[in-house]
């Protein structure tokens, strides 16, 4: 029982990170109908921004950790918008396949530029303590509930993810630009007919999705405390699977899919099949595409006449 609960918490905190990344895939798909494969590398850059700015922003304290997270989110948002303007916007009227291949190109560029500039070796996601020694981004303690042990880092991952999910929900459902995002994802032509500047909404969508990926990168690095320029690939692919699992283009679906992938992966890791924990997400992808291509919460669109 204890082990089950323990795994549940591990799975939820991993799933929350997948959910944050998956939301970016699904939002961009919603407005542009293509998969931004460079998204996983924005996640990586987010982690590096945290790594380099953390010491200046007071890593090791609660407020320092929050400031580092915010900086990583802001930096990632800028990167996402720049990628969109430079790589995708010039291809706006080309086929989706052209943009998709470009996205893979951007992804490879970021990975290789990262290896060249940041170095290919993994770095420990830790920060020097003034008096000597190393510390994590947030102060760390172990919380004990009966026989259950929870790291404060896991609580932080869950809390930050929850706050970001609620904030995202609020932006998408309660603000003017968020409503415009939903309007545009349904019908971009009609959106421009009411005065919505599609390009502005697309930029906003990239900023929002990339900020979430940046936060995901820092949270991921915090729990698996090492970073390298290729770290985005596997979590990125799994988050992509999560977005498809939930129903691509569907925001609650992406959050749900992320949680499910995180849980399944964690529970599989706890069994003798742990060797296959990375394979499981892709097995899920194949099954979903075979049996429910629209995803768990996705709907096939029916137009009323």
Residues that bind other proteins (CB under 8 A): 176, 179-180, 182-183, 185-187, 189-198, 303-305
CB of 27 to other proteins, least distance (A): 14
Compare residues 164 and 172 and give the one whose CB is closer to other proteins.
172
CB 91 within 8 A of CB 98: yes
Residue whose structure tokens are 């075979």:
290
Instruction: Report the C-alpha gap between 134 and 224 in whole angstroms.
Output: 15
User: What is residue 271's three-state secondary structure?
Assistant: coil
Instruction: Report the C-alpha gap between 166 and 171 in whole angstroms.
Output: 9
Compare residues 186 and 282 and give the one whose CB is closer to other proteins.
186
CB of 175 to other proteins, least distance (A): 11
Q: Could you tell me the two tokens for 194? A: 């009411």
CB of 199 to other proteins, least distance (A): 9
Residue 302's Cβ-count burial label (10 Å; 0-12, 13-18, 19+) is exposed
CB of 177 to other proteins, least distance (A): 10
Compare residues 108 and 190 and give the one whose CB is closer to other proteins.
190
Q: Could you tell me the two tokens for 198? A: 């599609």
Compare residues 179 and 233 and give the one whose CB is closer to other proteins.
179
CB of 213 to other proteins, least distance (A): 24
Compare residues 107 and 185 and give the one whose CB is closer to other proteins.
185
Nearest to 22 by CA among 185, 161, 122, 154: 161
Compare residues 146 and 304 and give the one whose CB is closer to other proteins.
304
Beta bridge partners of 128: 134
Compare residues 11 and 30 and give the one whose CB is closer to other proteins.
30
CB of 250 to other proteins, least distance (A): 10
CB 34 within 8 A of CB 175: no
CB of 252 to other proteins, least distance (A): 13
Residue 128 main-chain phi, psi, to 5 deg: -65, 140
Half-sphere exposure of 286 (CA within 13 A, CB side): 4
Torsion of CA 152, 156, 162, 166, to 10 degrees: 140
């Amino acid at each position: 029982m204890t082990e089950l609960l323990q795994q549940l918490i591990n799975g939820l905190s991993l799933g929350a990170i997948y959910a944050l990344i998956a939301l970016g895939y699904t939002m961009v798909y919603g407005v542009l109908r293509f998969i931004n494969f460079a998204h996983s590398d924005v996640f990586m850059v987010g982690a590096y921004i945290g790594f380099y700015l953390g010491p200046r922003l007071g890593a090791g304290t609660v407020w320092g950790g929050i400031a580092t997270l915010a900086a990583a989110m802001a930096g990632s948002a800028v990167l996402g918008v720049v990628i969109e303007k430079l790589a995708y916007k010039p291809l706006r009227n080309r086929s989706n396949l052209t943009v998709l291949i470009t996205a893979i190109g951007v992804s490879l560029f970021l990975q290789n530029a990262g290896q060249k500039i940041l170095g290919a070796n993994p770095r420990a996601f830790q920060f020097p303590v003034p008096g000597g020694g190393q510390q994590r981004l947030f102060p760390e303690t172990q919380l004990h509930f009966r026989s259950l042990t929870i790291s404060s880092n896991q609580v932080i991952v869950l809390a930050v993810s929850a706050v970001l999910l609620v904030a995202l929900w609020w932006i998408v459902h309660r603000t003017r630009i968020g409503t415009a995002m939903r309007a545009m994802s349904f019908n971009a032509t009609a959106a421009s007919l009411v005065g919505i500047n599609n390009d502005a909404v697309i930029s906003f969508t990239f900023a929002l999705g990339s900020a979430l990926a940046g936060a995901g990168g820092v949270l991921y690095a915090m729990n698996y405390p090492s970073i390298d320029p290729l770290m985005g690939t596997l979590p990125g692919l799994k988050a992509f699977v999560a977005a498809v699992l939930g129903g691509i283009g569907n925001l609650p679906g992406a959050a749900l899919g992320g949680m499910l992938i995180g849980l399944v992966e964690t529970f599989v890791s706890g069994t003798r099949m742990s060797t296959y924990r990375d394979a499981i997400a892709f097995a899920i992808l194949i099954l979903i595409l075979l049996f429910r291509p629209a995803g768990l919460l996705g709907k096939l669109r029916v137009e009323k006449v």
